[in-house]
Structure 1
Amino acid sequence: MCLGIPGRVIAMAEGYGGQIARVDVEGVERRINVGILDRPPSPGDWVVIHMGFAMETVSEPKAREAREGLQLVGSGPTQRVRRELRVSGVVQGVGFRPFVYAAAAALGLAGSVRNDVGGVVVEVEGDAADVDEMVRRLRSEPPPLALIADITERDLAPQGATGFHIDESTADGLGRTLGSPDVAMCADCERELTDPSDRRYRHPFITCTNCGPRFTITTDLPYDRANTTMAGFPMCERCAREYADPADRRFHAQPIACPDCGPVLTLVTPAGSQETGAAALAVARSMLSEGKILGIKGIGGYHLACDARDADAVALLRRRKARRTKPFAVMVRDLVVARRLTVLDPAAEAVLTGPRHAILLVPRGRGAGEVAASVAPNAPDLGIFLPYTPLHRLLFGLDGDEPGPDVLVMTSGNRSGEPIVTDDGQAAALLAPLADAWLTHDRGIVVPCDDSVTRFVSGVEVPIRRSRGYAPLPIALPFDVEPTLAVGADLKCTCGIGVGRFAWISQHIGDVDTAATIEALAAASDHLAMITGVVPTRLVVDEHPAYRSAQWARSVSRGRPVVGVQHHHAHIASVMGEHGVPAGREVIGIAFDGTGYGTDGGVWGGELLVADYAGFDRLGQLAYVPLAGGDVSVRRPYRMAMAHLHHAGLPWSDGDPAVAACPPDERRVLAHQLDTGLGCVPTSSMGRLFDAVASLAGVCQRVDYEAEAAIELEGAAREVEADRPYRFAVAPVGDSGRCQADPAPLIAAVVDDVRSGVPTGMIAARFHRAVADLIVEFAARARVATGLETVALGGGVFQNTVLLELATRALSGVGFEVLRPALLPANDGGIALGQILVAQARAGATCTDDDR
C-alpha cells in the first residue's frame, strides 16, 4: 500500500529511464523520475509520486482524493509474499540497480537490491501480483545496456518490511556477472557538457549511469567504485548527493565525478612544460591547427592525432609511425561533417551515433577530397567515427573557442606492430619520437582496448575489429562447455573464455609477433578471467607449429591440457556457433582466407569443408601453387602473380605489370625456387590468389598491411557490373571423392584481358564473379555428396563486401541457407569462439536445448 502526493508538472528534461520532471508539491519544487510511466506527463498533468518516482498520471479529482490520504495503489485484499531474485548477465555498470529501485517503488514493493560477484540480488516483498509484475519487468524491460542471462527465484518468509533500498555490494555469490563494455557519452551528458549554466560545463570526464568507461577501468567485481580506477577520486559532497538520489541520472553511477573531485587533464610537452584543464585543451587545439601531432589518452589507450586536412601533418605521422599506406581512421566533429565526407544511410548513422561509436567503413562522399589523400590512399572506403568521450568532444571545441580542425586522424598510439599504449610512463617513452605533446589525465586504464571497426554488407552490420563498445559482451553458445581459454591465432589475435552456455571474446590484441604483444595477450586473458570468474581447465590453440600464441599457451598451461584446432575448422565452427547450430549437425563450410596451417603441412586458405564441431572432411580446395619464401611473397604480391603464371605454364613477359615490378635479380632467384621447389610450400590460399590477380591487373605490387592488395582490387570492382565471369577448372581429384579448383584458366584470361587493355574495374569485377561462382559450385558439389543445405562462410576473404554480397545472393538463389559472420569478424579475430566449441565437441558430452 502506498499513498500518492499530487504535483503539477511545470517543466521536463531528458533523464534516466525516459524523463526527469520538476513538479510543484505543496509549493516545494521537486525533481522526480517519470520514466516508468506509459507516457511522459504533459504540462498540467497531475502525477502520483512515491519515493521520488511518478507512479501514474491521474485526473484532478483523483489527485484531490490522494491529497486527502485515500489509498491509490495496492487497494483491496492482498497476499503478501517475499521473494529473492538472483539476476545474472550484463547487469553491473548499466544502471540496473537504479532500474530495480524505480520498478520496486512504482509497484509499492519493499526490499533491497545489491551487487555481488554473480550479478544482482533483489529481495522484494509485497502483494503477490506486484512481485510477479516485478519479475516480468526484470525479464522483459531491463535498461537498454543490460543483458539478462538468467533470473532464479527463491521464496522467503515475509518480514512485514517497508521501503526499498540499495545495499552495499558483497563479494559472495556464484560465478561472475558479465562485464559491461565501455559506452560512448550519452546525449544528456553532452548537453550538460555544453551548457554554460551546468556545473559540469566543459568537464572532460562527465559520465552518468548510462555512459562512460566500464570495461577498461574495472579492477575487480562486483562493479563498484572501489573496484575501478576511480577508487582514488573520493566524491565531493555534491557528487555524493547525486549518487545517493534515486531521482538523479547519476544514482549509483560508479565513475561519477565533477571538476571538484574528478581526474585532471594535463598537456605535457617534451620540454616538460605543462598546462591543465581548459588551458590544456586550448593549447591542444592550437597545436593540432598548426600541424602538430598529439598523443591523446582516451578510454582504452592513447591515440595519435593530427589534422586530417593537413597533408604535411598526415605525411609526418606516416613517417614517424613507419606506416606507409595503411589507412588511417578519422574522427569527425559531427554528423554534418560525416555526411559531407562519406555516403551514409540511416543504419550507418545509427551505428555512428549509437552507444558503441565504432569506426565505420563507408563509401567516400563528394567531400572526401577535403581530407588529405594520404589519409587512406587507394582504399575504396573511409573509416570515420564520432567523438565518443567528453574529452574528444571538447577537443573539437565549443561555442566561443578558437576553431580547430573538424576532422582528425585518430590512430592507435603505438609503434608499428606493438599494442596500443595505456601507461602514462610508457607513453612518454615509447611515443616520444611520434608525438609533439601528450594530452593525458590521471584516470588509470586497466586493460588496453582499441577502437572497434565495422561495416555494412547488404544492410547487415559486419564487424572487422571487435573491441571497444563490444568487448566483453558475451556470446550465447549452442551447448555447454567446460571452463576453457582459447588464444586465437597470431594475426588479429583475440583470446576467448568459455564456460556453460557463454563465451567472452576479448578486445582486439593485435598481431602476436613481439614480446609486447605476448604480454598484451597475457594481460587480456587474465583480465577476462577476472571479470568472468572462470578458471580455465584447458587451453585451446591453433595447430600451426610456429604460432607464438600457441607457444605462449603451452608455457602457461601448468599441466592443463592444450588442445590444437585446425585453423579453418575453427573459422567454420565460429560461424556455426554464432548462429546457434546445435552439436552434431553438419554444414558445408567455405573457408577462404590468406593463410592457415593444413593437416597435410600445406598452407590452406581456399577450402571446401563438410564440418560439425567435432571434426571436418576436406571435400574440395583451390589447387596448390608454390608459395616461395613465405612471408616475402605475402608482402610482394608480384611474387604470387609470377608463381601463378608459373603454375599455369605461362611465360613471364616484361610487359606484364607483375613481372615488370620484380627486380631482375629477384626474378632469377624466384625462377630457381619455382623450378626446384627450394624454399617453397604449397598453398591453396584464396587470399594469395586475390594478391596475384591484383598484381597481374596492375592494382598493387607491394603491401604495407594485410589484405591491402585485395582491398584495392575490391575497390576496383565496385560500381562495375561484370559482363561475364572468369572460370576455374573444377575437377575430381582421382577417386578420393574430393575436387579441386585450378585457377590456371582464370590466370590466363586475366593476362589476356590486361594485354588487351580491358579496364581494371572490369577485370576485378569478372574475377569477383568467378570466385562467387566457385563458391556456388563448391556448395552444389557438397550438397550432391551429403544432402546438406546449409553453407557457412568463414575466413578473412569474406570481409570483401563485393564477394560476400555476390556469394550470398547466388547461394540463396539456388536454395541454400547461408550463415555468415555477424557477431565476430570473419578474419582471425573471430576464431577463438570456434576453438572453444571444437575443443568441447571433441571432448564429448555436448548437448543442445533440444536434448534437455
Structure 2
Amino acid sequence: MSRLNLAAPQNPVEVVEIRFRGRVQGVGFRPAVWRHARELRLGGEVLNDGEGVLVRVQGERAIIDMLVDRIAGDPPPLSQIEAIEITAYAGVLRDDFAIVESAHGGAHTEISPDAALCADCARETTDPFARRFRYPFTNCTNCGPRLSIVDGIPYDRAKTAMSPFAMCADCAREYRDPSDRRFHAEPIACHACGPKAKLVRLDGRHFTFEQFSMLDDVDAACSLIQKGEIVAVKGLGGYQLACDATQADTVRRLRKLKQRDGKPFALMARDVDVIRRFCDLAEHELVALTSPAAPIVLLHANGPEHLPDEIAPGLRTLGFMLPTTPLHVLLLRRMDRPVVMTSGNLSSEPQVTGDTEMTERLAGIATFALTHDRRIANRVDDSVVRVVAGGPRLLRRARGYAPAPIALPRGFAKAPDLLAMGGELKATFCLLKDGAAILSQHQGDLEDVATFDDYRKNLSLYAALFEHEPTAVIADMHPEYLSSKLAREHLAGGTLPLMEVQHHHAHVAACLAENGYALDGRPVLGIVLDGLGWGEDATFWGGEFMLADYVGYTRAGTFKPIPMLGGVQAVREPWRNLYAHLMAEMSWAELTMNFAELELHSYLAAKPRALLDSMARNRINAPPASSCGRLFDAMAAALDVCRDAQSYEGEAAARLEAMVDEKTLADEDEALAYPLTIPNLAGTGLPYIEPLAMWHAVLGDLILKTPAPVMAARFHKGLAKSIAAMTRKLAGSPEDGERRFSTVALTGGCFQNRILFEEVVRRLEREQFTVLSHARVPSNDGGLALGQAVIGAAHLMKSNKDFREGKPSCVSVFPGGS
C-alpha cells in the first residue's frame, strides 16, 4: 500500500479529499470510514465511485491524519488498500459526516471475491433466538457472495442476482444503518424476504421433507446423505454433489455415475475437529482452511481414522474444506463425519449452475437436489491450496481469490491495457489495467465445448465489470490452442494487435510478476517443468532452463527430447513414454539380453513394437518432446503405476509422489539416487539432462526387486540433484568470476509435486541461489495468462513502436530479449 500526499494544505482547519484504491467497495469500507470520522468529530462525506472510495473531510490536519491511520491500520476484513492519495479540496462540506450515494464513472476499482461465512453470521444462523436462525443465506458486509452473483457495475443490488428479492422492512433498516455490519451488504436477506432453499426429488416422485426431518428442507437433505443418498447441492458458484464420505459403496456409486474414474474427491467437514480425525493439521493449513477464502486444502491423510480408498485412489492426501455458506453449515450441522462435496457435473464437463440444466444433467447421478431460487450469475469453482515448503500455495485460483487483482512490479505503472488469453488446459485469462493484473477464476479445459462457451462469456463479463478496452491481445504461440485461435479472431477485425508468447517464457514471467520482480531486473534462470508447451522450433518443450526477463529469453538447457508415441495418446497412456524412453537409450536386443526376466519386458514385448519403432524413426504421430511430465509418466509406468492409462492429467505423477518412502528420501546415501548426466545435444550444443544412467539403475533395481517406494524416492532425489547440477553448470563457478545469474524461478505444473519442489529448493538455496516460486498464482497453466500479460506489457513499453502507436500487427516473442 502506498500513500501519496499530492498537496499538503497548511491551514489549522483543512479540507481535503482522500482517495482509497484497491478492494474497497462492497466490503464495508464506507461505514468503517463513517464510524471513525464520527468518533473523531470530523465533518464531510464518503462515497463510492469508479476509482474506489472517496472521502472528503474537514478538520485539523492532525485529526485527519489520525483518521487515515485508523483506516489503514484496521481496514474492514475483506478489504485490501492498494494506495491512499490525499489532495486539497476546494468545495464546501457539511459539519457532520455522512455516507452519500455512489458516483458513477470509469471502473478502476475491484469486484471482490466471494467470501466464506463469517463468525458473526455463523452464530446468528445457529442461534435459536436470532432473527436469521437456520436461514441458509445469512450474510453481511464481511462475508457472502460477490463475484458469483454480480452482473455489472457499480456493485449494487440492482446489478446482482439479488435484484428479484425486495428487502423487508427489517433488512432495509439494517441496510441503511451505517452502524450495522449489514450496511449496504447487497445480498442482505432473511426468511421474510430472501431466497429460500427447497429439497426436490429428481425422479419426479412425490415426497415431503417431513419424511426425513421435522426441521426444514436443509436438515432433510442431511438425513438423506446419512442414509447413503447422493444429493445435488446448489452451492455458491455452482451445483455440487454430496454424499457420506465414510460409505464406500456410495462413493463408488458416485464415481461410476459421475464417470470420474480416479480423480480424488473434495471433502467438506462440519468443523476442524472432524478433519483432525483423518488428517494432521499444520498451522498454515489451519489458517488457510479458516480464512475468508475457505479453499480446499490438501492435507496429509495420517490421522487416527481412515476414509475409504475410493475417496483419493492411490494418494496419501485428502482435500478438505470447511462449510463456505450458511446452507453448508446447516447441512452439516448433524454430520459428525466428512461428506464428499464434489463439483456437480459429469467428468470433464463444467460445473452445472442453472436449475433446468441441473435436472437434465444431474438427475442420473443424484436422486435429490437441495436447491434454491437465487440465480448463480457466474460459475466459480472451489479454490485448491497445498502447503509446500512451509507455506500455502494455490493450485487452483477461483472462489475466494478471483478476481482480486495482483499488483504489478516496479516498472509496470504505465503498462497499457491488455488482454491475455491464457492456455487451453486449466485456462484463465488476464486483464491488465491501472498497473494491476486481474486474473480470472479457473475456467477449466477449453476442449470441452461448454467450458469454452463459459470462457467466452466470462471474457465479456470481465470486460464489462472492469470497463476494459485492451490495446492489444496476447496469446500462446501454440497454433491449435483454442484460446489462441480466439485471440486471432480479435486480430481478424483489424483493430487490435496480437502478440504470441512462448509457453514456458510465460510461466517464468508469471513467477517473476507474482514475486514483484522489477521490470528492469537482471535476467533470472527460469526452470520450467511441465507436460507440454509449443517451442519456437515447432517441437514440444516441457523441461526447460531459460535465461529470461519480461522481454525475452534464451534457452540455456533442456531435458532430452523423446518421441511421444501416438501423440496425445502418450499423455493418456504412460507405457508409451516408458517404451520411447527405453528405446531412446538402448535397443530392444540390449533390453532383452539384460532384462528379459522382468515382467516389464514381457509387458512391452506384447505391444506393437514394429509400428511404434517406425513411428519414432519416421516421426509419424511421434513428435519429440523435452517433457519432464512425460519422464514422470515413464517412471510411473516402470513401477506399474497407471501403466496402461491415467484417468486424469497428472495422475501417474501424483501417485508416484504419493508412493515415495520418506525415510529413503531423508536418510539414504545420496550416491544411491538415480543418476542423470548433463551432456550437450548434437547439432545445437545445448546442455540437456540425459536419463540413460537412470534407466539402467531403475532396471537394475527392478531385477533386485527393490521396493517401489524406495525406487520412487531415488527417482525424485536423482531428478532434483540433476536440476541443481544443471543450474550450477549454467551459472558458472563463483571462482571464475560473477555468476551469470543469482536468482532462479521455479515454475510449471511439475513443481506442484511437493517432494520435487522441496528437494530442488533445498539444494539451490544451499548453493546460495535466491529461489522464486509461486504462492498466489498456480505454477501450472492456471498462471499462464499473468505471464503472457506482463510479457506483452514489457514488450510494448520497451521495444515495439507499432504497438505503442496502436497499429494492428502480429508479433511472436522469440529469444533475444535477455
- TM-score, scaled relative to structure 1: 0.87
CA distance in structure 1 between the partners assigned to 2:277 and 2:598 by the alignment: 39
- 1:566-577 matches, cutoff 5 A: 566-577=502-513
Q: Answer whether contact 2:661 2:710 (CA < 8 A) is retained.
A: no
Question: Does 1:555 pair with 2:519?
Answer: no
Gaps of 5+ in 2: 1-9, 734-738, 801-818
Instruction: Say whether residues 1:146 and 2:79 are aligned partners.
Output: yes
1:662 Cα shift? 5.3
Alignment of 1:179-198 (within 5 A): 179-198=111-130
The match for 1:699 among 629, 637, 641 is: 641
Superposed, which structure 2 residues align to 1:797-808 within 5 Å? 797-808=750-761
Q: Distance in 2 between matches of 1:88 and 1:195?
A: 37
Aligned partner of 1:263 among 195, 205, 209 = 195
Q: 2:713 aligns with which of 738, 754, 765?
A: 765
Deviation string, structure 1 residues 525-551 (Cα, Å, up to 9, x no partner): 222222322211211111111111111
2:649 maps to a residue whose letter is: E
Aligned to 2:728: 780
Give me the whole-angstrom Cα distance separating, in 2, the residues matched to 1:563 and 1:587: 23
Secondary structure, counterpart of 1:201 in structure 2: coil
C-alpha deviation, 1:492, in angstroms: 0.7
Aligned partners of 1:591 and 1:793 also within 8 Å:
yes
Distance 2:429 2:693 in 1: 40
Corresponding position of 1:380: 316
Residue 815 of structure 1 aligns with an amino acid whose one-letter code is Q
Name 1:420's counterpart in structure 2.
351
The 1:252–1:548 alpha-carbon spacing in structure 2 relative to 1, beyond 3 Å, is: same
Deviations 1:32-53 (A, max 9, x none): xxxxxxxxxxxxxxxxxxxxxx
Confirm whether residue 750 of structure 1 aligns to residue 683 of structure 2: no
Please report how far the alpha carbon of residue 839 of structure 1 lies from its aligned counterpart in structure 2 after TM superposition.
Answer: 1.2
2:239 aligned partner = 302
Q: Equivalent residue of 2:455, what SS?
A: helix
Supply the distance in 1 between the matched residues of 2:490 and 2:600 (Cα, whole angstroms): 45
Alignment of 1:431-446 (within 5 A): 431-446=362-377
Q: Go from structure 1 to structure 2 and tell me whether the alpha carbon gap of 1:160 and 1:100 turns closer, same or farther (over 3 Å shift).
A: closer
Paired residue type of 1:576: L
Aligned with residue 69 of structure 2, among 136, 139, 144: 136
Task: Using the TM superposition, give the Cα deviation of residue 247 of structure 1 relative to its aligned residue in structure 2, in angstroms.
Answer: 2.6
| 1:651 and 2:599 are equivalent in the alignment | no
Q: What corresponds to 1:237 in structure 2? A: 169
- What are the equivalent positions in structure 2 for 1:165-564 lying under 5 Å apart? 165-172=98-105, 174-272=106-204, 273=206, 278-369=215-306, 371-397=307-333, 403-404=334-335, 406-478=337-409, 479=412, 480-557=414-491, 558-559=493-494, 560-564=496-500
Aligned mates of 2:314, 2:604 — CA distance in 1: 21
1:350-383 superposed Cα distances (whole Å, 9 cap, x missing partner): 11111111100011023452x2210111012111
Counterpart Cα distance in 2 of 1:703 and 1:381: 18
Partner residue, 2:529: 592
Alignment partner, residue 7 of structure 2:
none
Alpha-carbon distance in 2 for matches of 1:144, 1:218 = 20
2:773 pairs with 820, 835, 838, which one? 820
Q: Which residue of 1 aligns with 2:625?
A: 683
User: Is the Cα–Cα contact under 8 Å of residues 217 and 228 in structure 1 kept in the other structure?
Assistant: yes
SS at match of 1:182: coil
Q: CA deviation at 1:483?
A: 1.1
More off after superposition, 301-310 vs 224-233: 224-233
CA distance in 2: counterparts of 1:462 and 1:248, whole angstroms: 35
Post-superposition shift, 1:623?
A: 1.0
Secondary structure, aligned partner of 1:482: coil
Range with greater deviation from structure 2 (123-132 or 157-166): 157-166
Deviation at 1:291, TM superposition (A): 1.6
Aligned residues: 764
User: CA separation in 2, counterparts of 1:768 and 1:669?
Assistant: 32
* The one of 9, 30, 34 aligned to 1:97: 30
Which of 573, 580, 601 aligns to 1:636? It is 573
Deviation at 1:824, TM superposition (A): 0.6
Q: Evaluate the alpha carbon distance shift between residue 274 and residue 261 of structure 1 in structure 2; reply closer, same or farther with a 3 A threshold.
A: farther
More divergent stretch after superposition (665-674 vs 231-240) = 665-674
User: Are 2:545 and 2:558, in contact at CA under 8 Å, matched by a contact in 1?
Assistant: yes
User: What's the offset of the Cα at 1:484?
Assistant: 1.1
Task: Answer yes or no: is the 8 Å Cα contact 1:89–1:178 preserved in 2.
Answer: yes
| Alpha-carbon separation, structure 1, partners of 2:11 and 2:785 | 53
Cα shift at 1:736: 4.5
1:158 Cα deviation from its structure 2 partner? 6.2
Q: 2: distance between equivalents of 1:278 and 1:426?
A: 28
Distance 1:422 1:167 in 2: 36
Query: 1:624 & 1:298 partners in 2: Cα distance?
Result: 45
Q: Deviations over 1:731-781 (max 9, x none)?
A: 133585521111111111111111211111111111111111111112112
Note the alpha carbon deviations across 1:101-142, whole angstroms, 9 max, x for none: 111111111111111222112111222221222233333432
Letter of the 1:239 partner, please give it: C
Identity of matched residues, %: 41
2:26 touches 2:184 (CA, 8 Å); kept in 1?
A: no
Tell me the residue number matched to 1:614: 551
Displacement, 1:730? Answer: 0.7
| 738, 741, 762: which one aligns with 2:689 | 741
Secondary structure in structure 2 of the residue aligned to 1:491 = coil
Give the secondary-structure state (helix, strand or coil) at the position aligned to 2:675: coil
| Pair 707,659 (structure 1): closer, same or farther in 2 beyond 3 Å | farther
- The counterpart of 1:83, out of the listed 1, 16, 22, is 16
Gapped runs of 5+ residues in structure 1? 1-76, 398-402, 848-852
Q: Is the 8 A contact 1:348 1:360 kept in 2?
A: yes
The Cα offsets for residues 191-248 of structure 1, whole Å up to 9 and x where unpaired, read as 1111101110000000011111111111122222222211211111111111222332
- How does the TM-score come out when normalised to structure 2? 0.90
Distance 1:357 1:133 in 2: 33
Q: Which amino acid aligns with 1:383?
A: G
Corresponding residue for residue 26 of structure 1: none
- 1:108 equivalenced with 2:41 (yes/no): yes
Deviation at 1:99, TM superposition (A): 0.7
User: Measured at CA, do residues 271 and 687 of structure 1 come closer, stay the same or move farther in structure 2, by a change above 3 Å?
Assistant: closer
Would the alpha carbon gap of residues 432 and 660 (structure 1) be closer, same or farther in structure 2, given more than 3 Å must change?
farther
* Aligned equivalents of 1:95, 1:274: Cα separation in 2: 43
Specify the SS of the correspondent of 1:720: helix
1:49-101: per-residue Cα shift (whole Å, max 9, x none)?
A: xxxxxxxxxxxxxxxxxxxxxxxxxxxx9922222222221001211011111
8 A contact 2:270–2:335 mirrored in 1: no
Higher mean Cα deviation, 807-816 or 657-666?
657-666
CA distance in 2: counterparts of 1:295 and 1:133, whole angstroms: 51
The CA RMSD over aligned residues, in Å, is 2.1
CA distance 1:275–1:298, shift in 2 (3 Å): farther
Residue 779 of structure 2 aligns to a residue whose secondary structure is coil
Give the superposition deviation at 1:154: 2.9
Q: 1:840, 1:846 within 8 Å by CA — same for their partners in 2?
A: no
Structure 2 contact 641–656 (Cα < 8 Å) conserved: yes
Quick check: 2:546–2:554 contact (8 Å CA) kept in 1? yes
Could you give the per-residue CA deviations for residues 789-818 of structure 1, whole angstroms, max 9, x where no partner exists?
Answer: 100011001001001111101000011000
Q: Which amino acid aligns with 2:757?
A: L
Bigger fraction of residues in strand: 1
2:519 to 576, 583, 598: 583
Which moved further from structure 2: 651-660 or 818-827? 651-660
8 Å CA contact 2:219–2:330 kept in 1: the answer is: no
